[in-house]
Structure 1
């Protein structure tokens, strides 16, 4: 078969990407600090994002981690993770005990990116008009900015998923009111929500729920040795829980054979269908910056000629038209108010 590259699976247990989530004061950060005391791990680095537990938990008997200093900006946070990843790769190549990276918490990480998107949205003409009329008006964050925030989160997650060592992520989790398809609360019904990006639990290889009321529970694990069958096995409580035991005894992660997850980043390249055309991007920007219905109509009238000239695709024309319709509805709503 020509043009096909394939290999046999190794069967090796990869380095785990662990999500510890739960309510307040449930022991998430404590468990992460406790792991650093294990003789089976090497140097631990702690990235504290809006939690403030790193210094105090250094007093836990045996804890031996280093606190990463950063200035709170996304660029500095990402650069810090990249530096630890490079050091973990060096340690792995040298045959040293696996390094550990703790991120406390991923809830704060996504909050930072949400604030970044909202701050960018405030600069659009439509939101500036809205805020001039009412300084307390809700800022509308368009989908393209949410996509940009998700792209930033995805870059971080790719680094964590391919980290050549152990990664422990904490996040807040709680019960919330269940909603129907219309977004209305369902009386007497509850759902459980992990506070963070919606794909956070999916990307983790092991998902542990911490609680003040019951033993830690493995909600899900991508594991041959300790996996849970969705829809068949219930979350498993671990009464003598520790991350050391979970990683090395239950998941059977062997430092001699463990490797980072084999995740090949997707490469969209410059295929015309994979990216928005310059003309479509310009029309969307013009729509977002429109200050009146007349401005939006000008953008609307430019869609047809651009489509006829082949500068935009039909899908892009539909996207621009739908965005203009939404913006006109917002302007009409403001005018009525």
Structure 2
């Protein structure tokens, strides 16, 4: 159908292409398995490699980071955090930025080890259950019966998944090597309703269910068997369906540089974050801002035609910026939702009392 006479023609869209490089990207390695199988040891041992740069270690509820530094040649820095999701995310972002700097300078790859992905997902799961308890419907139910089973809305699980995916995206695009340790074990198989199936077992990784698929290489370790590669995304290594590849002399260094074929020329995977519309990247950016002047500058820049936002999209982004500014004026409790916790209330009361004492002292 032809456009009406005199109507403005939409701007032509230019095709954007590039030649593939053939370069092997830096991997995200999942090492999961039984307790005492050597997962943490293998990561600490890798830090002694002369082929890598600085290794950073985030210890999440495992408590092994200091002890494993006694391994001969081990050389990693423990990242300190306060246990909150926000602080953990910011530290992962800081490592991502440092890895990008090191790669641009031609230095050996930065390595980030997270011990463990199981603890990270458990934290987000506990957060989701706690939020579920605080809904109006469930509060009423639990007042009548504290042991009653309660439902958790899909929206709450989606929030937890979004937080998990933000960290996984940073690991997958790290301009270096990312290692996630996780617990894994044999458990009773269950049907679609969660009921155990008699005389059947299955292997379960204690983490968000897509972690194995998101990883470049998935390694399983057991106490009484050689390590196995369950899955690998590589042209140099092949794992046949339901036939894991056994590695008798396993080391992460050998896996990365000989098995996968990574080198100093490796680059992070080219993976722009997918967004369903033009608004989502703006909302993510707004949520990360902590300065009201920066929010004001962003608010004023939104209508620029170069941003290619519709009138409704501009209104949505500006409303999000205004809401974020209000949040900065009145911060919410750490995990970001619901009423203040008892600890928050006690801290607030202590601050009020201290302020009153200061006023009395001045009078």
Instruction: Report the TM-score, using the length of structure 1 for normalisation.
Output: 0.77
Other-structure match for 2:196? 185
Q: Which of 105, 130, 136 is the aligned partner of 1:94?
A: 105
Q: For 1:33 and 1:117, how far apart are their aligned partners in 2? A: 32
Q: Which of 183, 205, 209 is the aligned partner of 1:172?
A: 183
Other-structure match for 2:247? 238
SS at match of 2:45: helix
Is 2:256 the counterpart of 1:247?
yes
Distance 1:2 1:84, change over 3 A: closer
Q: For 1:63 and 1:111, how far apart are their aligned partners in 2? A: 28
Per-residue displacement from partner, 1:137-195 (whole Å, max 9, x unpaired)?
23421100001110111111110000000011001111111122333222111111111
Preserved contact between residue 118 and residue 139 of structure 1 (Cα < 8 Å): no
Q: For 1:77 and 1:181, how far apart are their aligned partners in 2? A: 34
SS at match of 1:127: helix
Shift, 1:126, TM fit: 0.7
Q: For 1:69 and 1:86, how far apart are their aligned partners in 2? A: 17
Where in structure 1 are there 5+ consecutive unaligned residues? 272-337
SS at match of 1:131: helix
SS at match of 2:226: coil
SS at match of 1:8: coil
Tell me the matched-pair count: 270
Per-residue displacement from partner, 1:15-70 (whole Å, max 9, x unpaired)?
01000000111110100000000001111000000111100000000000000100
SS at match of 1:188: strand
Other-structure match for 2:324? none
Instruction: Report the TM-score, using the length of structure 2 for normalisation.
Output: 0.72
Preserved contact between residue 174 and residue 193 of structure 1 (Cα < 8 Å): yes
Other-structure match for 1:207? 218
Preserved contact between residue 14 and residue 261 of structure 1 (Cα < 8 Å): yes
Q: For 2:119 and 2:16, how far apart are their aligned partners in 1? A: 41
Q: Which of 245, 254, 267 is the aligned partner of 2:275?
A: 267
Q: For 1:150 and 1:6, how far apart are their aligned partners in 2? A: 32
Preserved contact between residue 117 and residue 149 of structure 1 (Cα < 8 Å): yes
Q: Which of 43, 55, 64 is the aligned partner of 1:32?
A: 43
Shift, 1:3, TM fit: 4.1
Where in structure 2 are there 5+ consecutive unaligned residues? 1-11, 280-363
Q: Which of 56, 64, 76 is the aligned partner of 1:65?
A: 76
Other-structure match for 2:130? 119
Other-structure match for 1:334? none
